[in-house]
Amino acid sequence: MNQPLIIAEVSSNHHQDLERCLQFVDAAADLGCGAVKFQLFRIAELFAPEVLAASAEHRARERWELDPAFLPHLVKRCRQHNIAFSCTPFYLEAVAQLQEHVDFYKIASYELLWHDLLSAVAATGKPVVLSTGMANLAEVQAAVACLRQNGCADPMLLHCSSAYPTPIAEANLKALDTLRRETGCRVGWSDHTRQPAVLYRAVFRWGAECIEFHLDLEGDGPEFSAGHCWLPKEIGPVITTLRQGFEADGDGHKQPAAKELPDRDWRADPSDGLRPMLHIRNQPIK
């Protein structure tokens, strides 16, 4: 198993500030992430008119929108750090707006049923990562079929719970195995638990090939208060541990490691069960 792709999800924590957006890219690179992801939405095309008419809270989310003019600058900074740039389109026009910029598209759980959007991203020929929160298996299978029929032969599925935050007991990491077996897709984990143990378990027990997490810089982002966003000082040690875990794999050959070689002669001799081996017993003890 290869090391997982680790994606830092900026969400709506950028304050519509280009410099802050760039700081997120810098932070993701410093943390050892392989990609950073933003979201491209327009509130007027995200919620139905009757919802916006009735809800000042939803109308206020207009200040969370990402300015499309930021995209070239974000991509440039990603290239400087040698990490991938991704973005989630939430309206059909956004697919074309993002096509020249993204290394891969990410589709959010809430849009899993919208096959027109799935068809549009698949038709670009770019890789697609699809979150599956709230979905049942039949809905996921239909979404995968739609992607494959329209040009995306190898989508990556992210299992998650769309509860913010997600209790550990509701993570249901075994579903990673179900998704892999029933769809033939690569699978990963989109985290809303903010619990290191869940990330370790997803990778080392259930073979997650991708880990996505929500990032905030210092706790001032509008989504941080919901409880699902990690701070750099929290997620940094987790990423380091995940990387280090793969260093322990070795080459699989059963033979003494270099550090063991000096101790081989100090094993019990098979002739009498005493240490060290007969051929060094009369040598000076070091």
* Stated pTM of the model: 0.93
16 closest CA partner among 77, 63, 73: 63
Rounded CA-CA distance 27/25 in Å is: 5
215 closest CA partner among 52, 74, 35, 49: 35
Q: Read off the pLDDT of residues 139-148 as tens digits, 9 standing for 90 and up.
A: 999 999 999 9
Whether the predicted pLDDT of 61 surpasses 90? no
Which pLDDT band holds residue 282 (cuts at 50, 70, 90)? confident
Pairing, β 128-131 against β 104-107: parallel
* Cα angle value 222/189/153 (rounded, 5°): 115
Rounded CA-CA distance 194/228 in Å is: 6
Which whole number is the average pLDDT over 16-30?
98
Rounded CA-CA distance 221/225 in Å is: 8
Which pLDDT band holds residue 283 (cuts at 50, 70, 90)? confident
Q: Read off the pLDDT of residues 211-239 as tens digits, 9 standing for 90 and up.
A: 999 999 999 999 999 999 999 999 999 99
Rg (CA), the chain: 24
Q: Indicate left, alpha or beta for 11 from its phi (over 0: left) and psi (-120 to 50: alpha).
A: left
Residue where the block lists tokens 């769809």: 183
> Any idea where the domains of the chain sit in the sequence?
5-247, 257-286
- The CATH number given to 5-247 is 3.20.20.70
Taking the CA atoms of 136, 138, 143 and 147 in sequence, report the sign of the dihedral they define.
Answer: positive
The secondary structure of residue 110, as a DSSP letter, is G
